[in-house]
Amino acid sequence: MMNEKPQNRQLGKGLSALLGENTVQIPNSERKTEENSGNSGMMKIPVEFLTPNPFQPRQVFDQEEINSLANSIEKNGMLQPILVRAHKWDGNRYEIIAGERRWRAAQRAQLHEVPIILHNLSDEETLEAALIENIQREDLNPLEEAEGYNRLLKDFGQTQEKLSEVVGKSRSHIANTLRLLGLPAEIKKLISKGDLTAGHARALIGAENINELAKTIIQKNLNVRQVETLVRGLSYKSRSPNRKESPKDPNTRELERSLSEILGLKVELESKREGGKLAVHYKTLEQLDEVIRRLSA
């Protein structure tokens, strides 16, 4: 069975590795550096010369957080530069790679200039950097994270394996997060508002009366385990209550036990008059990958 990759607290290669080789050194004659900054790639530019990142995965900016950051900037200045790249069509402007929240707060604090560091990144690397920064800060809601993953996979042809290395998340985490994109619009709104967690939402995938279940979760403040139990219970009740299953013969039970030992997973056999059904239960995508690998061998 495949081993789960350990969570990397630095999130894959991290921003420093992604940006380090792409820093553009600005000639002394062209930059206005902060005194004693010690950073040869830093300069200050007018705040209006910056434009938002079109690949920004974050769609919701908490206004209270922006106000709090603006107050801090008014008192202490902007302590961390904004990471930017050259604008594609306007030579006098720069596109934000990471730091849009600081840029918004700087405008609210009425700063005329902000410190920046210029990097030469592709569209794909820009999206990767924005994802990494937001995930590190835990600023993204689950749907924003899922949309970011989906864009890297579809628009830039990344695989889940490569994406896992870049952002430092397991393949199962990425796959489970992507599943949220298939939920109904009303459920997505509840996730974006924070009324439902990603765990709640995943437990609801495939359930009947999903909107009613979501209301019950919010009203009763159910945790994820309670939701899973609720969904399983409803699924069980939806079966015919009067149907009595005939006991399995000893040979079938022994075959189930043998297959379970071989695969390391729960196996169920259901015999009918003609043919039957074999069910293999798995909990993670890694376990499913191992079953597929053995069947393909």
Q: What is the pLDDT of residues 1-31, one digit of tens each?
A: 334 333 333 334 445 555 554 544 444 444 4
Predicted confidence (pLDDT) per residue in 278-291, tens digit: 888 877 777 777 77
Catalytic residue among 100, 128, 133, 145: 100
Q: What is the CA 58 to chain-centroid distance, rounded?
A: 11
Whole-number Å distance between alpha carbons of 236 and 243 = 12
Closest of 156, 114, 104 to residue 131, by C-alpha: 156
β-strand pairing of 113-118 with 50-51: unpaired
β-strand pairing of 94-98 with 50-51: parallel
Please indicate whether residue 256 is annotated as part of the active site. no
The stretch 227-248 carries a mean pLDDT of 61
The stretch 180-192 carries a mean pLDDT of 90
Write down the pTM of the prediction.
Answer: 0.52
Whole-number Å distance between alpha carbons of 44 and 46 = 7
Beta bridge partners of 115: 44
The better pLDDT of the pair 161, 285 is held by 161
Statement: residue 41 has pLDDT above 50: yes
Whole-number Å distance between alpha carbons of 164 and 162 = 5
* Portions of the chain given CATH number 3.90.1530.10: 23-120
- The token duo for 154 is 């579809």
Statement: residue 70 has pLDDT above 50: yes
Please tell me which of 37-41, 114-118, 235-239 the model is most confident about, judged by mean pLDDT: 114-118
Angle of CA points 123, 107, 31, to nearest 5°? 65
Whole-number Å distance between alpha carbons of 11 and 135 = 8
Residue 42 in 3-state DSSP? strand
Q: Which of 142-151, 184-193, 234-243 has the lowest mean pLDDT?
A: 234-243
Tell me which amino acid residue 39 is: N
> What whole-number percentage of the chain has pLDDT above 70?
77
Check: CATH 3.90.1530.10 for 23-120?
yes
